[in-house]
Amino acid sequence: MSTTQTFRVTGMTCGHCVAAVEQEVGGIAAVSDVAVDLASGQVTVTSSRPLTIDEMTTAVDEAGYELAD
């Protein structure tokens, strides 16, 4: 059974930003799909289990952006 969660990422301004976030978040072992909406900063993640805030923060930081509170 899959889980869908939505997070907000700040600092993204272009398609390269979107690709970087998709790549890093998509690299989390449980993740099967990542959809980024640049305009709203919303990142919707589908995974085999709920992701922790720490996992998301680390992935988003690696991409060079920040997870919003």
| pLDDT tens digits, one per residue of 29-40 | 999 999 999 999
Identity of the residue numbered 15: G
**Full DSSP string of 4-33:** EEEEEEES--SHHHHHHHHHHHHTSTTEEE
Angle between helices 15-26 and 53-63 (to 10 degrees): 140
Strand order in the sheet with 31-37: 31-37, 42-47, 3-10, 66-67
Q: What pLDDT sits at residue 38?
A: 97
Q: What pLDDT sits at residue 1?
A: 85
Residue 8, token pair as written in the block? 């907000």
For the chain, which domains are there? 3-67 (3.30.70.100)
Band the pLDDT of 48: cuts 50, 70, 90.
very high
